[in-house]
Amino acid sequence: NAGVTQTPKFRILKIGQSMTLQCTQDMNHNYMYWYRQDPGMGLKLIYYSVGAGITDKGEVPNGYNVSRSTTEDFPLRLELAAPSQTSVYFCASSLTGELFFGEGSRLTVL
């Protein structure tokens, strides 16, 4: 069982570039989440989804977009990358209340 898979693991972007972080889960979980973790800090919720076709903003959604066309996939899009978006991004999924996390995607914006 792969669980939650994120790609890429590492990426360097120039200011103003755009990219998509991919997340897929094979546990048939309805809930999926995107968090960012800044150095020495906890996890901040960017966006979440309670099921295919439904997404909602978390604490820090500015500069990001998401879509949920299938139960399995929940990509996170950065349209105009800014240095403030340098962070480690974690995707997670859950069925009831316990979140299962991917290994993270480390993004640097220069």
Q: Which of 2, 28, 41, 62 binds other proteins (CB under 8 A)?
A: 41
Q: Applying CB under 8 A, does 103 fall inside the site for other proteins?
A: yes
Q: How many residues bind other proteins (CB under 8 A)?
A: 19
Give dist(CA 27, CA 57) in Å, integer: 23
The residue (of 13 and 104) whose beta carbon lies closer to other proteins is: 104
Binding letters toward other proteins, positions 52-71, x by CB under 8 A: ------xx------------
What whole-number distance in Å separates Cα of residue 28 and Cα of residue 47?
19
Contacting residues toward other proteins, per CB under 8 A: 4, 35, 41-43, 45, 48, 58-59, 90, 92, 97-104
